Amino acid sequence: MGLTKKDDDDESHLLGEEVVVTKLEALVNWGRKNSFFLYPFVTACCAMEYMSVSGPRYDLERFGAALPRFSPRQADTLFVVGTVSHKQAPILLRVYNQMTEPKWVFSCGVCATSGGFYDNYATVQGIDTIVPVDVYIPGCPPRPEMILDGIIRLQEKVMKDKFSNWPIGASKLARRRDTAFDSQAIPEKRTEKKRS
């Protein structure tokens, strides 16, 4: 985005200095980058650091992301904060699929990013196995400054988006019929025939 320059050999000086010449794509991306609608999917101890970002000291309002939305249909940015167990994975997938397009996902903390120190059968080893992740924020717990840096990185990514990249649609796992999250994919109970 830029203002037209007033040159003697250019006819653009006829427009005056009140006109902004830009592309529609750049204007839409500028609006998107300054109006994130956050949906917090908060499950563990990283929530305390995440909540402090909304306070006056760090001021999410300057990024246009101050008020969280507690309905996925009104949100476009999903913050997954904390440990996600396999029992919570279908809920996370449903929340992601109900969000509006375009949608972005933050993985906040080491537990959401890689399972953290919970290397066991009950914990999802990184939410990128369930939903696509745009920004990874490391730390246990991540500092508020790191979350703000993640928002700035997402703003840079949004400014480079093209209309052809959207819509992404449902998560790839939601489209597969053989996943453990699909209730119809649960194998039927086998019955053995009696031998005579």
Mean pLDDT of the chain: 77
Helix/strand/coil for 77? strand
Q: Where are the alpha helices (DSSP H) in the chain?
A: 24-33, 47-53, 89-98, 110-114, 144-159, 172-175
pLDDT range class, residue 185, cuts 50, 70, 90 = very low
- Decide: 101 and 166 in contact? Cβ < 8 Å: yes
Per-residue pLDDT for 184 more than 80? no
User: Which range (8-17, 22-31, 149-158) has the least confidence?
Assistant: 8-17
Place 30 in a pLDDT band, splitting at 50, 70 and 90. confident
Comparing 8 with 153, the larger pLDDT belongs to 153
Cβ atoms of 131 and 78 within 8 Å: the answer is: yes
**Whole-number Å distance between alpha carbons of 74 and 154:** 19
Which is higher by pLDDT, 164 or 7?
164
**Tell me: the pLDDT tens digits for 47-84?**
788 888 877 888 888 887 777 888 888 888 898 988 88
**Fold observed for domain 39-167:** Rossmann fold (3.40.50)
> Is the pLDDT assigned to residue 92 strictly greater than 60?
yes
Whether residue 143 is predicted with pLDDT greater than 80 in this model: the reply is yes
Q: Return the domain boundaries, the chain.
A: 39-167
* pTM tops 0.85, yes or no: no
What whole-number distance in Å separates Cα of residue 5 and Cα of residue 17? 8
CA distance 99 to 78: 8
Q: Are 175 and 130 in contact (CB under 8 A)?
A: no
Pairwise CA distance, residues 53 & 147, whole Å? 8
Distance, CA of 195 to CA of 72 (rounded, Å): 54
What is the mean predicted confidence (pLDDT) over 99-125?
Answer: 86
